[in-house]
Amino acid sequence: MAEPATARLHIAYFTGEYPRATDTWIQREIAALRAQGVDVEGFAVRQPGSEHLVGPEQVAETARTTYLVPQVKSLRLPLAHLGLALRSPARYLRALRLAWDTRRPGVYGTAYQLAYFLEAGLLAAGVRRRRIRHLHNHFGDSSCSVAMLAAELGGFTFSFTLHGPGIFFEANTWRLDEKFRRAAFVSCISWFCRSQATIFADPADVAKLHIVHCGVQPEALARRTHRPGGAELLFVGRLAEVKGVAVLLDALTEVAKVHPDVHLTLVGDGPERQRFEQVAAETGAEGRVTFAGYRSQAEVAAFLADTDVFVLPSFAEGVPVTLMEALGAAVPVVATQVGGVSELVDHGVNGYVVRPGDPEPLAQALIELLDDADRRQRMGDAGRATVTAEFANPTEATRLRTLFANTLAGLPTAIRPQLG
Q: Share the mean pLDDT of the chain.
A: 94
Residues 191 and 260 in one domain: no
Residues 169 and 258 in one domain: no
* Cβ neighbours for 193, distance < 8 A, ≥ 6 positions apart: 162, 163, 164, 318, 319, 339, 340
* Cβ neighbours for 92, distance < 8 A, ≥ 6 positions apart: 81, 84, 85, 153
> Is residue 2 very low, low, confident or very high in pLDDT (cuts 50, 70, 90)?
very low
Out of 43-47, 57-61, 113-117, 175-179, pick the least confident: 57-61
CA atoms of 44 and 10, how far apart (whole Å): 17
> Is residue 5 very low, low, confident or very high in pLDDT (cuts 50, 70, 90)?
very low
Query: Under a CB-based contact definition with an 8 Å cutoff, are residues 367 and 191 in contact?
Result: no
- Model confidence pLDDT, tens digit, residues 165-194: 999 999 999 999 999 999 999 999 999 999
Per-residue model confidence (pLDDT) at position 415: 97
Residue 383 lies in a domain: yes
CA atoms of 276 and 76, how far apart (whole Å): 44
Per-residue model confidence (pLDDT) at position 220: 85
Tell whether the model's pLDDT for residue 1 goes beyond 70: no
Helix (H) / strand (E) containing 266: strand 263-267
The count of structural domains within the chain is 2
Residue 336 lies in a domain: yes
Residues 196 and 67 in one domain: yes
Residues 307 and 338 in one domain: yes
> Is residue 7 very low, low, confident or very high in pLDDT (cuts 50, 70, 90)?
low
Residue 90: give its domain's CATH number: 3.40.50.2000
CA atoms of 298 and 285, how far apart (whole Å): 27
Query: Under a CB-based contact definition with an 8 Å cutoff, are residues 92 and 84 in contact?
Result: yes
> Is residue 23 very low, low, confident or very high in pLDDT (cuts 50, 70, 90)?
confident
Structural domain containing residue 320? 218-390
Per-residue model confidence (pLDDT) at position 420: 63
CA atoms of 96 and 88, how far apart (whole Å): 13
Residue 95 lies in a domain: yes
* Cβ neighbours for 181, distance < 8 A, ≥ 6 positions apart: 202, 205
Residue 266 lies in a domain: yes
Residues 323 and 401 in one domain: no
Residues 385 and 397 in one domain: no
Residue 20 lies in a domain: yes
Per-residue model confidence (pLDDT) at position 8: 86
Residue 415 lies in a domain: no
Q: What percent of the chain has pLDDT over 90?
A: 88
Residue 1 lies in a domain: no
Residue 262 lies in a domain: yes
Residues 203 and 240 in one domain: no
Q: What is the mean pLDDT of residues 238-256?
A: 96
AA identity, residue 65: T
Per-residue model confidence (pLDDT) at position 4: 45
Residues 269 and 288 in one domain: yes
Residues 235 and 370 in one domain: yes
Residues 81 and 67 in one domain: yes
**C-alpha of 189 from chain center:** 8
- Model confidence pLDDT, tens digit, residues 48-57: 988 888 788 8
Per-residue model confidence (pLDDT) at position 24: 84
Residues 100 and 235 in one domain: no
- Model confidence pLDDT, tens digit, residues 120-142: 999 999 999 999 999 999 999 99
Residues 357 and 211 in one domain: no
Query: Under a CB-based contact definition with an 8 Å cutoff, are residues 49 and 69 in contact?
Result: no
